[in-house]
Amino acid sequence: MSDLKSDSGIHTSGISHFGRPLLVVTGGTKGIGRAIIRRFMKDGFDAITVARNAEDLEQFKKETEQEFAGSTMHIYTADLGERSQVEAFAEFVRSQDRPLELLVNNTGLFLPGEIHKEEEGTFEFLMNVNVGSAYHLTRALLPSMLERQRGYVVNVCSTASITAYTNGGSYCISKFALLGMTKVLREELKTKGIKVTAVLPGAVYTNSWAGTDLPESRFMQPEDVAELLWTSYHLSPSAVVEEILIRPQLGDI
């Protein structure tokens, strides 16, 4: 549970004494999280990411640092469904002693089911992974943003945050809760120089759709979401995108 490369301390951008701004993305080795990291590192960010699979993390770090020369990625292996591991990851981020520019709470898991037929413990499990991870990590990392009166918190929600559907069960509940948490954060932080955005994507072509009979063209690409977030980040300090709702051109699947 340690990073594989230390900060270089090179370059200057006016963001910090390290030069490059820093983003943290949870669940960053696949799908939307991976695309966000790549988009921001492409244009000068360093990144910290966390996932459960150490091999995936190491491979992603190697590929990305080779492609985006001069940028650094720190990796950490953890299951953010466990609060103790969220706290350990937060301490790892703080140990880098870097101003945090952007936090993207992307960790999430889908389990199908209906409330009256779900296995016992499904609700608690999905709430811990999909909401608790974002809640506890945000609380742990906000103090440095508040001190600087600068920062950006993004919660990756879902169209399931606003549309209930059969077989959505506790997943829908957790995503509704995550959107509610994001709205509360927005109200709390709007006067403190910290922006808050909820991203509500529909079906994105990722590993979660492996084996589908639908053509790839029926889905959005993870890069679509990443590009919108990149644009949102670059608005003036007086403007914020509160919600990004993005669906496939032909509608939800």
Q: Is 58 helix (H, G, I), strand (E, B) or coil?
A: helix
Of 73, 85, 80, the residue nearest 108 (C-alpha): 80
Q: Give me the mean pLDDT over the 109-138 stretch.
A: 97
Residue 147 has pLDDT above 70, yes or no: yes
Round to whole Å and give the CA distance between 110 and 141.
26
Q: Is the pLDDT of residue 14 over 50?
A: no
Percent of the chain residues past pLDDT 70, beyond the cut? 92
Residue 210 has pLDDT above 80, yes or no: no
Across 12-26, 37-51, 213-227, least confident range: 12-26
Summary mean pLDDT of the chain: 91
pLDDT for 18: 61
* Helix and strand counts by DSSP (H, E) for the chain: 7, 7
pLDDT at 209: 72
Q: What is the pLDDT of residue 3?
A: 37
Distance of CA 218 to the CA centre of its chain: 24
> What's the pLDDT score for residue 133?
98
Q: How many Å apart are CA 33 and CA 169, to the nearest integer?
A: 24
pLDDT-derived band at 205 (thresholds 50, 70, 90) equals: confident
Is 8 a residue whose pLDDT tops 60? Answer: no
CA-to-CA distance for 248 and 202, rounded, in angstroms?
7
Structure tokens belonging to residue 160? 């399931």
Residue 128 is classified by DSSP as I
The Cα 137–Cα 153 span in angstroms is 11
**What pLDDT was estimated at residue 242?**
98
The CATH code belonging to domain 22-246 is 3.40.50.720
This prediction has a pTM of 0.91
